[in-house]
Chain A
């Protein structure tokens, strides 16, 4: 058995100082295997985004350890974090966050450029994978929310990262479109070693996960493997 993809041990994140502190993550521990599709489930304010940001090395931890592919993230310098984010993680956000002055192709190529050769060819390839080969010259304002999110996914996977981190990627989309996005996330990970983290407050979505980690008030209140993940089309909201 290969080494686990992500291992958290006693991970704690406290925001603020003095009297007004918020413990967003409280002694969180888990171990995720490579290639798992993990759903982080919990009500609003339970610490899901905080945990995802920890895994993406966007913020430092207060205490505890977080090891990704064998490397400890906690003690990384700014430079190492940038390098880690560049090589290891792809992000997909709720509001897509595309650069409005760049076309779909350019949005993807912008990231492809900083992570390897032949950015154009690689970008075309992933845009094909997300079903947007005919929209590559469009600007974000000319695309629907679902299409924009596909571009965002293409941007997240163009560097072929071992981790894909998605924060409420369907939160701003209607049901049908949301389903197709989930489908896409699942299909692009299928057959690869890519571990996907998907944050949601919607328990229905959890049914498609290999593993569901439940959070409440910054604590892990459940860590369950799902032997029979359902397909996104079968999900009922």
Chain B
């Protein structure tokens, strides 16, 4: 098995992830989730007063704001906002807090350079008087495509951070949401989980999935010959690049298994937090 650039041996191995909870004290809940070099901090405020035009009579209205690492927010952030809004609208029990607003604010804290590398590459090409569309060199083109591939990592981290922040805020949910990213390699069609920037330059397509944690058997699993895992339902799926149907479902099943690990990690993190809180009561 070839060793991956960051010394991982298995294609299905994820990079180490870490998280922190309850970081901010002016909001109702907050958490930061980090996939190696990509980190997103999410704060939750709610249920609070809602603007009249956003008021819904029978449920809370979800408001999502995403801020990029650098610069002003643009259409990319709007896409991520609508992704998160639709994903979490299925999970948060908004019917328990009608005519209120739950505000989710996500700030990208660390980005493993995908976006900035792409921007710098385009700028250098422009300075040298070279037009992008006249390039024959495919690696130069791939540098800029990494810019778009890198967004997937931010989406995964943002979804995981939002789950942990919602747990911290005590907003009622019907399941956890976990998200991972994987890619399909250009030469061999090999599926790699949680790719690094180097691996992304050799990607033909990249996929992000979000699954919920409720343990019911997923109907989709039957098409893959049943890996035997009773997993969650797909809440979100985004793919960029060229891929076949088999590759897509292969990625989905691998991501589902990897998402189990993310859910397990969230569970461990919450247990540790509760343990520490109880220590203050019973121990001291």
A binds B: no
Chain A: residues with CB nearer than 8 A to chain B?
A: none
